[in-house]
Amino acid sequence: MTDRIGEPLDETMLRRALRLEADERPPLFDPAAIAAAARVRPRIAIVSAAVAVGLGALGAVAVWSAFAILLPTVAVDAFDIGLGLLAMLAVAVSGVADLVQQPVVPLSLVAALAIATAHELRERVSHVNAS
Protein backbone atom coordinates (compact mmCIF):
# COMPACT_ATOMS: atom_id res chain seq x y z
CA MET A 1 0.00 0.00 0.00
CA THR A 2 1.39 3.37 -0.89
CA ASP A 3 0.90 6.25 1.46
CA ARG A 4 0.26 9.60 -0.10
CA ILE A 5 1.86 12.33 1.99
CA GLY A 6 -0.29 15.34 2.65
CA GLU A 7 -3.62 13.65 1.84
CA PRO A 8 -5.98 12.70 4.67
CA LEU A 9 -6.61 9.01 5.26
CA ASP A 10 -9.67 7.48 3.75
CA GLU A 11 -12.56 7.09 6.21
CA THR A 12 -13.32 3.53 5.19
CA MET A 13 -9.69 2.52 5.73
CA LEU A 14 -9.77 4.08 9.23
CA ARG A 15 -13.03 2.33 10.11
CA ARG A 16 -11.63 -0.98 8.89
CA ALA A 17 -8.46 -0.48 11.00
CA LEU A 18 -10.44 0.37 14.14
CA ARG A 19 -12.81 -2.59 13.85
CA LEU A 20 -12.39 -5.25 16.51
CA GLU A 21 -11.51 -8.80 15.61
CA ALA A 22 -13.72 -11.62 16.81
CA ASP A 23 -11.42 -12.57 19.67
CA GLU A 24 -10.69 -8.96 20.72
CA ARG A 25 -12.49 -7.39 23.67
CA PRO A 26 -13.75 -3.81 23.51
CA PRO A 27 -11.81 -1.24 25.49
CA LEU A 28 -12.64 -1.08 29.19
CA PHE A 29 -12.86 2.69 29.38
CA ASP A 30 -15.79 4.76 28.30
CA PRO A 31 -14.92 8.19 26.85
CA ALA A 32 -18.15 9.69 28.17
CA ALA A 33 -17.39 8.47 31.69
CA ILE A 34 -13.86 9.90 31.50
CA ALA A 35 -15.20 13.25 30.30
CA ALA A 36 -17.77 13.30 33.09
CA ALA A 37 -15.14 12.53 35.71
CA ALA A 38 -12.84 15.22 34.30
CA ARG A 39 -15.41 17.96 34.72
CA VAL A 40 -14.57 20.23 37.63
CA ARG A 41 -17.14 20.23 40.33
CA PRO A 42 -17.24 23.62 42.05
CA ARG A 43 -18.02 22.20 45.48
CA ILE A 44 -15.06 19.82 45.40
CA ALA A 45 -12.79 22.62 44.16
CA ILE A 46 -13.86 24.87 47.04
CA VAL A 47 -13.41 22.08 49.59
CA SER A 48 -9.98 21.13 48.26
CA ALA A 49 -8.89 24.80 48.24
CA ALA A 50 -10.08 25.21 51.83
CA VAL A 51 -8.23 22.05 52.88
CA ALA A 52 -5.06 23.29 51.15
CA VAL A 53 -5.29 26.67 52.89
CA GLY A 54 -5.94 24.98 56.24
CA LEU A 55 -2.97 22.63 55.84
CA GLY A 56 -0.77 25.54 54.78
CA ALA A 57 -1.81 27.56 57.82
CA LEU A 58 -1.27 24.58 60.10
CA GLY A 59 2.20 24.05 58.63
CA ALA A 60 3.05 27.73 59.06
CA VAL A 61 1.91 27.67 62.69
CA ALA A 62 3.94 24.51 63.33
CA VAL A 63 7.08 26.01 61.80
CA TRP A 64 6.65 29.28 63.66
CA SER A 65 6.02 27.47 66.96
CA ALA A 66 9.10 25.29 66.50
CA PHE A 67 11.14 28.40 65.66
CA ALA A 68 9.83 30.27 68.70
CA ILE A 69 10.51 27.31 70.98
CA LEU A 70 13.96 26.42 69.66
CA LEU A 71 15.38 29.91 69.05
CA PRO A 72 15.95 30.81 72.73
CA THR A 73 17.59 27.44 73.37
CA VAL A 74 19.90 27.79 70.38
CA ALA A 75 20.74 31.38 71.32
CA VAL A 76 21.55 30.39 74.91
CA ASP A 77 23.73 27.50 73.74
CA ALA A 78 25.61 29.74 71.29
CA PHE A 79 26.13 32.37 74.00
CA ASP A 80 27.31 29.66 76.41
CA ILE A 81 29.85 28.32 73.91
CA GLY A 82 31.11 31.83 73.11
CA LEU A 83 31.46 32.71 76.78
CA GLY A 84 33.34 29.47 77.46
CA LEU A 85 35.78 30.17 74.64
CA LEU A 86 36.28 33.71 75.92
CA ALA A 87 36.97 32.38 79.44
CA MET A 88 39.55 29.89 78.12
CA LEU A 89 41.30 32.66 76.19
CA ALA A 90 41.21 34.98 79.22
CA VAL A 91 42.84 32.34 81.42
CA ALA A 92 45.69 31.88 78.94
CA VAL A 93 46.20 35.64 78.54
CA SER A 94 46.02 36.12 82.31
CA GLY A 95 48.90 33.70 82.86
CA VAL A 96 51.09 35.56 80.38
CA ALA A 97 50.10 38.93 81.87
CA ASP A 98 50.95 37.76 85.41
CA LEU A 99 54.35 36.54 84.27
CA VAL A 100 55.20 39.79 82.50
CA GLN A 101 54.06 41.95 85.43
CA GLN A 102 56.50 40.37 87.89
CA PRO A 103 59.62 42.55 88.25
CA VAL A 104 62.04 39.62 88.21
CA VAL A 105 61.32 38.62 84.61
CA PRO A 106 62.29 41.88 82.86
CA LEU A 107 65.33 42.30 85.09
CA SER A 108 66.50 38.75 84.40
CA LEU A 109 66.08 39.33 80.67
CA VAL A 110 68.20 42.50 80.85
CA ALA A 111 70.84 40.68 82.92
CA ALA A 112 70.95 37.76 80.49
CA LEU A 113 71.33 40.17 77.57
CA ALA A 114 74.18 42.01 79.33
CA ILE A 115 76.01 38.76 80.13
CA ALA A 116 75.62 37.49 76.56
CA THR A 117 76.92 40.79 75.16
CA ALA A 118 79.93 40.83 77.51
CA HIS A 119 80.76 37.21 76.60
CA GLU A 120 80.62 37.94 72.87
CA LEU A 121 82.82 41.03 73.25
CA ARG A 122 85.41 39.08 75.27
CA GLU A 123 85.41 36.26 72.70
CA ARG A 124 86.00 38.73 69.85
CA VAL A 125 88.80 40.48 71.68
CA SER A 126 90.49 37.19 72.52
CA HIS A 127 90.04 35.94 68.97
CA VAL A 128 91.54 39.17 67.49
CA ASN A 129 94.51 39.05 69.92
CA ALA A 130 95.17 35.39 69.09
CA SER A 131 95.40 36.09 65.36
Domain ranges in the chain?
11-130
Which pLDDT tens digit goes with each residue over 12-52?
A: 777 777 776 666 666 677 777 777 777 767 788 889 899 99
Query: In terms of pTM, does the model score above 0.75?
Result: no
Residue 1 reports pLDDT greater than 70: no
Q: What is the pLDDT of residue 95?
A: 86
The 3-class secondary structure across the chain, one letter per residue, is CCCCCCCCCCHHHHHHHHCCCCCCCCCCCCHHHHHHHHCCCHHHHHHHHHHHHHHHHHHHHHHHHHHHHHHHHHHHHHHHHHHHHHHHHHHHHHHHHHHHHCCHHHHHHHHHHHHHHHHHHHHHHHHHHHC
Which pLDDT tens digit goes with each residue over 75-117?
A: 999 999 999 999 999 998 998 888 777 778 778 888 999 999 9
